[in-house]
């Protein structure tokens, strides 16, 4: 049985007072909470968030990492720093890094390798743009994103490798993939990682304008194991509603 995940990616949002308010308002997870709950604050607030997250029973993630433990890499964050702050998971390959920062496939592959080597829970993002979907290239795009990162490059246990399918056209737009669209893509990903890597038990999350009023229609589907949430994870009330959905 795959344990569902609700993960919040705060991106470049929430200052110190907002971080403190979030965890105060969220409170502690109840002992019978079945879902794994993860929050990824911005780098400057990992220490503050980490201390408060532990009290709530929430795991701490980083939004990215540089594939070195430490060294002369200006502006980067290495694994030793993340571990020192209590980070246990890292998000790699988010579309904003792929498309805004033009992160190449070979660097993403190196980060995937390094995150596993360092013992982090890898949350690996894939997804197509609107143009790629309209041209019918979405399955080829996902195949390239996954195989370029995973071929001969998977060493962690399947439960430590999570894929987040985030259609770029649905991120922050208010547009959500229909349950049928989402299940089609998740089913395709599951089949691919099962047949190529034997990782069929890895969890696959949906991301893209997930909110309390639409999450049930998504996570009720067979191949969707939770959500990677942006805007709706910034406030405790909406995030708790997602966790409890």
- From the candidates 4, 96, 128, 166, give the one annotated as an active-site residue: 166
- Annotated active-site residue 94? The verdict is yes
- From the candidates 59, 94, 132, 186, give the one annotated as an active-site residue: 94
CB neighbour class for 237 (10 Å; exposed up to 12, middle 13-18, buried from 19): exposed
Q: Which two tokens stand for residue 237?
A: 């009330």
* SS3 label, residue 117: helix
Residue pair 58/29 in contact (Cβ under 8 Å)? The answer is yes
- Annotated active-site residue 103? The verdict is no
Q: If we measure between CA atoms, which residue out of 133, 153, 134 comes closest to residue 142?
A: 133
Q: Is the dihedral angle over the CA atoms 58, 60, 63, 64 positive or is it negative?
A: negative
- Identify the H or E element spanning 125: strand 121-126
The set of catalytic residues is: 94, 166
């Amino acid at each position: 049985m795959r344990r569902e995940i609700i993960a919040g990616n705060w991106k470049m949002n929430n200052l110190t007072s907002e971080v403190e308010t979030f965890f105060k308002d969220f409170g502690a997870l109840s002992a019978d909470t079945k879902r794994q709950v993860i929050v990824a604050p911005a780098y400057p607030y990992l220490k503050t968030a980490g201390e408060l997250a532990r009290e709530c029973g929430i795991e701490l993630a980083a939004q990215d990492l540089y594939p070195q433990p430490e060294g002369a890499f200006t502006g980067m964050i290495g694994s030793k720093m993340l571990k020192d702050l209590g980070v246990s998971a890292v998000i790699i390959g988010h579309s904003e890094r792929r498309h805004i920062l033009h992160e190449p496939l070979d660097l993403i592959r190196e980060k995937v390798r390094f995150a596993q080597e360092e013992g982090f829970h890898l949350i690996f993002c894939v997804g197509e743009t609107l143009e790629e979907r309209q041209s019918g290239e979405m399955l080829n795009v996902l195949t390239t994103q996954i195989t370029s990162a995973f071929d001969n490059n998977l060493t962690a246990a399947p439960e430590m490798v999570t894929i987040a399918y985030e259609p770029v056209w649905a991120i922050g737009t208010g547009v959500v993939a229909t349950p049928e669209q989402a299940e089609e893509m998740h089913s395709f990903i599951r089949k691919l990682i099962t047949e190529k890597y034997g990782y069929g038990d890895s969890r696959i999350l949906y991301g893209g304008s997930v909110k309390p009023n639409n999450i049930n229609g998504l996570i009720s589907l067979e191949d969707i194991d939770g959500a990677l949430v942006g805007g709706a994870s910034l406030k405790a009330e909406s995030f708790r509603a997602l966790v409890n959905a």
